[in-house]
Amino acid sequence: MNRRFALLQVLISVIALAAVIWWGSHQESPQIPTGGQAIAYMVAAALLYTLATLVRAERWHRILHLTGVDARRADSYSLTTVGYMGNNVLPARAGEMLRVVLLDARTDAGKRSLLGTIVAERLLDAVVLGAIFVATVYGVLEGDVLPTDRPLLIAGAGFLVLLVAAGVFSLLRRRGALRRFRDFARPLAGAPRALTSRTGAALVLVTAGLWILEGGVYLTVARAVELDISTSGALYLVALTNFVAALPAAPGSIGTFDAAVAFGARALGGTGSAVISYVLLLRFILYVPITVVGFGVLVLRYGGWSRLREAARLQTSRA
Give residue 124's pLDDT band: very low, low, confident or very high (50, 70, 90): very high
Is the pLDDT at 140 greater than 80? The verdict is no
Its pTM stands at 0.82
Q: What is the average per-residue pLDDT within 47-73?
A: 94
Print burial letters for 114-124: b (CB count within 10 Å at least 16), e (below 16): bbbbbbbbebb
Give residue 310's pLDDT band: very low, low, confident or very high (50, 70, 90): low
Terminal C-alpha separation, the chain: 8
Give residue 178's pLDDT band: very low, low, confident or very high (50, 70, 90): very low
Give residue 166's pLDDT band: very low, low, confident or very high (50, 70, 90): low
| In the chain, domain spans | 2-7+33-318
Q: What is the average per-residue pLDDT within 130-157?
A: 66
Q: What is the average per-residue pLDDT within 9-31?
A: 85
Task: Estimate to the nearest angstrom the gap between the alpha carbon of 310 and the chain centroid.
Answer: 22
Give residue 83's pLDDT band: very low, low, confident or very high (50, 70, 90): very high
Q: What is the average per-residue pLDDT within 194-219?
A: 91
Is the pLDDT at 198 greater than 80? The verdict is yes
Average pLDDT of the chain, as a whole number: 82
Q: d(Cα 295, Cα 81) in Å, to the nearest integer?
A: 8
Q: What is the pLDDT of residue 168?
A: 53
- CA nearest to 65, candidates 199, 256, 155: 199
Q: What is the pLDDT of residue 232?
A: 92
Q: d(Cα 251, Cα 290) in Å, to the nearest integer?
A: 14
Q: d(Cα 194, Cα 190) in Å, to the nearest integer?
A: 6
Task: Give residue 93's region: left, alpha or beta (phi > 0; psi -120 to 50).
Answer: left
One-letter amino acid identity for 291?
T
Is the pLDDT at 180 greater than 70? The verdict is no
- Cα distances (angstroms) measured from residue 245 to each of 49, 61, 138, 160: 17, 24, 22, 22
Q: What is the pLDDT of residue 297?
A: 93
Is the pLDDT at 92 greater than 80? The verdict is no
pLDDT digits (tens, 9 = 90+) for 257-296: 999 999 999 988 888 889 999 999 999 999 999 999 999 9
Q: d(Cα 24, Cα 246) in Å, to the nearest integer?
A: 24
Least confident of 10-24, 188-202, 282-296: 188-202
Is the pLDDT at 96 greater than 80? The verdict is yes
Is the pLDDT at 193 greater than 50? The verdict is yes
Print burial letters for 192-205: b (CB count within 10 Å at least 16), e (below 16): bebbeeeebeebee
Print burial letters for 43-73: b (CB count within 10 Å at least 16), e (below 16): ebbbebbebbbebbbbbbbbbbbbbebebee
pLDDT digits (tens, 9 = 90+) for 220-268: 999 999 999 999 999 999 999 999 888 878 888 889 999 999 999 998 8
Is residue 162 packed enough to be buried (19+ CB in 10 Å), middle (13-18) or exposed (0-12)?
exposed
